[in-house]
Structure 1
Amino acid sequence: MAITWTATLETGIEVIDAQHRRIVDYINELETAQNSHDRGAVGHVLDELVDYTVSHFGFEESLQEEAGYKYAKPHKRVHDLFIKRVDEYVQRYRGGEDVAAEVHAMLSNWLINHIQHDDADYVSAVKANVHHLTTNHKEGGWLARTLKRWFR
């Protein structure tokens, strides 16, 4: 079933919410590719999803570090474990298995849980820092450089 973006998925950090919405779009595209039984489309969406998600995680981790979020390292470990898990699905896909339904279900559940719990924990620290960076032109350059670094 497709994921519908709702207010319960919003962190209140505009740039993060936009990235999360894009990940939701990829997950929904995966379902469409799966339903059309188009193996090539499934592979393409998986590749795009992994690439975008890795970039998002790096950006999110940069924001956490910049804000001095005390649980930044454990949060990064959660991201690393997730990437490892998704990579296992990708390897199975490349080995010829039909993993689309399984990976779609895992991604849907994981993303919603991660946003509503793990990401919600860092919001106050990062939100205050993002506000400071976007209103302080001298330091606002950091945010612009970071966005360019992760999302070209």
Structure 2
Amino acid sequence: MAVRRSSVFELGIPVIGSPHQRSIEHINAVAHAQQEHNNDDIPSALDGRREYSLSQFAFKQSLMENARHPLTHGHKKMGSYLLAG
């Protein structure tokens, strides 16, 4: 099932919009590999997705902290939960 871009992913900081779109593209690539039963591509796609997520989370958290964005704490808490393990 494909993920569609939504206002849920917007934080009010324009520089974050493009990376969120790329994240959606990564997720959809994994979903497509699953639908096509291309199991050989799934582990590397997931590893790439995780590395990209870690990088983007740190970048966004820094921007939010510098901007004193009101959702900074919630973003950090959610990111820590989602990226654990």
Partner of 1:19: 19
Change (3 A) 1:15 1:70: closer
Shift of 1:9: 4.6
Q: 1:78 to 1:31 in 2, by over 3 A?
A: same
Output aligned runs, 1:1-152, within 5 Å.
1-6=1-6, 8-9=7-8, 11=10, 12-84=12-84, 87=85
- The structure where helix makes up a greater share of residues is 1
In structure 2, relative to structure 1, the CA distance for the partners of 1:10 and 1:39 (3 Å cut) is closer
The residue that corresponds to 1:133 in the other structure is none
Q: For 1:92-143, what per-residue CA distance to the aligned partner results, in whole angstroms no more than 9, with x for missing partners?
A: xxxxxxxxxxxxxxxxxxxxxxxxxxxxxxxxxxxxxxxxxxxxxxxxxxxx
Query: How many matched pairs?
Result: 84
TM-score by length of 1: 0.49
Identity over the aligned pairs, expressed in percent?
30
SS in 1 for 2:41: helix
- In structure 2, the gaps of 5 or more residues are none
Greater Cα radius of gyration, structure 1 or 2: 1
Runs of 5+ consecutive residues of structure 1 not aligned to the other structure: 88-152
Runs of 4+ aligned structure 1 residues displaced above 4 Å come to none
Shift in Å at residue 75 of structure 1? 2.4
| Paired letter, 1:16 | I
